[in-house]
Amino acid sequence: MATSNKINIERVLLILVTTLLVVSVTFNIIQFALNRGDAAVEGDTDSGVQVAQDDDAVSQPGDSDDVEDAALTETQEAESGETPSPEPTVVVWEDDVRRILDPMLPDYIDDFHNKDTWYDYDSEGYASYHIENARLVGIDYRPDERYIYWSYSAGAQSGNVYAELSTTNGECSGRDSVGMVIRVDALITPSGYGLEISCDGAWRFRRHGEGGSKDLVDWTDSVVINTGPGAQNRMGLWGYQGRFVFFVNDVQVGNYYDPAYVYTYGFFAAYVHASVTTDLQAYFDDFSIWHIPFQP
């Protein structure tokens, strides 16, 4: 019996010790887990704050630093007198016949630096043409409504074409005028179709031939034409087969259809025509042409 009691006491003690160990281990595990959880929460909080600080440190478009930098740049440009060059802008209306062309890429350009591309002469009592300071200078010595004397370009020929030419008036008055001609036939003098603008702000369209010049469109006033001595204008003449469209300073001022379609191909010409003023002078510059592609 004594032996049996001894065994029972040992079993009880073993169970108590085991229970205490389990409780102790469980407590340590729970405490460890709680400590890990606190550390994770603290780490996440610190990490989030740090990210926010990094975002604040990054310069974003439109923040105060960029505005100050832009203001400083503008101030430096103003002090240096330098301003950024604007991009070229070309406006072509939806119904503009020129929309099929690339306005920035002419097929031929003449800036009048080459004196050999335009015919120069001086006929006393009639007219004179020569290139000076990169411009074609024309003089019509005496007023005459019937005859026109011009200089033609040997640099290019075309049939279906859009041509532009810059002009500057001399000491002009009234119907004193400047003109540009397309399709000048080398075998017929004079010949071709010409757009003409006057000192007092009108334009007309003419067909030149051996029998003289015929007004296909008579003088027509236009507010887009710059008038008077020293005025500058940009002339544009579109000719596709028998259809012609006229532009002054990039604005369409009229059109005409010639069913005769007399001249189909040739050179270009420029002229000054005295109607009122003796020794009338004018200047021509920046000549450009575009070949018009076939229109079905």
Which strand ranges, in their side-by-side order, compose the sheet holding 192-198? 150-158, 266-273, 177-184, 192-198, 202-209, 212-221
Residue 155: predicted pLDDT:
87
Q: What is the mean pLDDT of residues 42-65?
A: 32
Confidence class of residue 210 from pLDDT cuts 50, 70 and 90? confident
236-271 tens-digit pLDDT = 999 999 999 999 999 999 999 999 899 999 999 999
Average pLDDT of the segment spanning 155-161:
93
**pLDDT band for position 35 (cuts 50, 70, 90):** very low
Give the CA angle between residues 138, 276, 229 to the nearest 5°: 60
Least confident stretch, 54-68, 181-195, 230-244: 54-68
As a whole number of angstroms, the distance between CA 16 and CA 6 comes to 16
Q: Which residue has the higher pLDDT, 177 or 47?
A: 177
What value does the mean pLDDT take over residues 113-142?
96
Distance from C-alpha of 86 to C-alpha of 78, rounded to nearest angstrom: 16
pLDDT of 296 reads 80
The Cα 71–Cα 129 span in angstroms is: 53
Banded pLDDT at 214 (limits 50, 70, 90): very high
Tokens, residue 49 = 């704050």
Rounded Cα–Cα distance for residues 174 and 219 (Å): 12
Query: Hey, what amino acid is at 276?
Result: V
In the predicted model, is pLDDT for residue 76 greater than 60?
no
How many other CB atoms are there within 10 angstroms of residue 177's CB atom? 27
Handedness of CA 124, 125, 127, 129 (dihedral sign): positive
d(CA 255, CA 36): 89
Largest distance between two CA atoms of the chain: 162
User: Which residue type sits at 211?
Assistant: G
